[in-house]
Amino acid sequence: MAHLGVVPEYAEGGKSRISLVIKPEFENSFQIAHGGVVMTLLDFAMGAAARSTVNQQLGAMTIDMNVSFLRPSIGKIAVEGSVLKFGKTIHYCEAVVLNEDGEVTAKSSGTFMLRR
């Protein structure tokens, strides 16, 4: 994610936060963040939240993911992920994208499997 310019802010205790400035190369033909970019950030934030619930380094694989786009994502955005419920390997998560005014621009839910 570093190659996109994603700034990791924290990932601990089942919560995570990352941020990104939407550059022209991340925009669609309407000059707003491309849906694929937004989905990637949501996926990453949920996976980071899931990984933060265990003390050892594990990978998080997405089992399923649902996304709703509520308004355009432009400028600097933040993505906050959280774990809703977790077991030994399966974690149920959610994430939101926030614009600079604190408005939710997209939201998602997902199921993740933690593996070595």
Question: By residue range, what is the domain housing residue 79?
Answer: 2-115
- The predicted model scores a pTM of 0.95
Q: How many domains is the chain partitioned into structurally?
A: 1
DSSP 8-state class, residue 22: -
Summarised one tens digit per residue, pLDDT across range 17-50 is 999 999 999 999 999 999 999 999 999 999 999 9
pLDDT digits (tens, 9 = 90+) for 75-114: 999 999 999 999 988 999 999 999 999 999 999 999 999 9
CATH code assigned at 53: 3.10.129.10
Q: How far apart are CA 10 and CA 26, in angstroms?
A: 23
